[in-house]
Amino acid sequence: MTDSQFVVLYVEDDERLARLTMQYLVAHQVDVRLVTRGDRAVAELVAVKPDVVLLDLNLPGIDGLEVCRQIRKRTDVPIIMVTARTDEADRVIGLEGGADDYVTKPFMSRELLARLRAQARRARGTVGPKVDRIAVGSLVVDASRMEVTLAGSPVSLTTNEFQLLHVLAQRPGRVLGRDQLLSLLHGTAEQAFDRSIDVVVSRLRSKLEHDTRHPRLLKTVRGVGYMLSPDES
């Protein structure tokens, strides 16, 4: 499978938009499987095993947020949410629900394709610095396998959560600001994260910390940024 050949599960009830988007993606060697109802998305996900899910927020059956939650219970496949809404609160809710990226209608087909490709590459572990295994205290980040363990127990992360953690793990004890993190994540990370790095950090903390109000591993340095602490104290 080349970089441009991957499978997208597209969950969208707008027939015209779906047809035009699919025509563009297929013309660029993307295999697209369309589902028009939210309550059919998970079954199709299991059958297709896509590289990326392109998920509309407003759907018949069940809405995109609930579809996203159901998918996250099964797999860490990258999810890009699509909605006509422009309110930033909806965007944050989508990311908190487990989405990796967020685009609003109307979107440029070329930009969408770039985001889909970036998420597919991240899922395969083909972006970012090539440091295979990093240990920070009891935390182990294995880039070659896209796996994380904490005190020997596996931690399930989305692709964006993994990439952000990987960047921090390569610089233990060093405070990184949001702009630095965006630069280090490069690719289309600027669009994927934007001001929502805080959301991804919050999701990471919920999976890594016993007490998220008093984190020992993933710390905030007020007014500066975030740091992965090597001593967990």
Of residues 186 and 100, more confidence is placed in 100
Q: Identify the sign of the CA torsion 36, 37, 40, 41.
A: positive
∠ CA 209-214-219, nearest 5°, is 75
On the question of pLDDT at 38 being above 90, the answer is yes
On the question of pLDDT at 41 being above 60, the answer is yes
Give the pLDDT band of residue 178 (cuts 50, 70, 90): confident
Of residues 174 and 192, more confidence is placed in 174
Task: Decide: 136 and 169 in contact? Cβ < 8 Å.
Answer: yes
Residues found in the chain: 233
| Dihedrals phi, psi of 72, to nearest 5 degrees | -65, -25
Least confident of 54-63, 85-94, 111-120, 135-144: 85-94
Residue 126: other Cβ atoms inside 10 A = 10
Query: In the chain, what percentage of residues exceed pLDDT 70?
Result: 87
Of residues 22 and 94, more confidence is placed in 22
DSSP state of 128: S
Domains of the chain: 6-124 (3.40.50.2300), 133-228 (1.10.10.10)
Q: Mind listing the pLDDT tens digit for each residue in 76-113?
A: 889 999 877 666 676 777 777 788 888 888 889 998 99
Instruction: Give me the mean pLDDT over the 22-39 stretch.
Output: 95
The rounded mean pLDDT for the chain is 84
Give the pLDDT band of residue 191 (cuts 50, 70, 90): very low
Q: Mind listing the pLDDT tens digit for each residue in 149-161?
A: 999 999 999 888 9
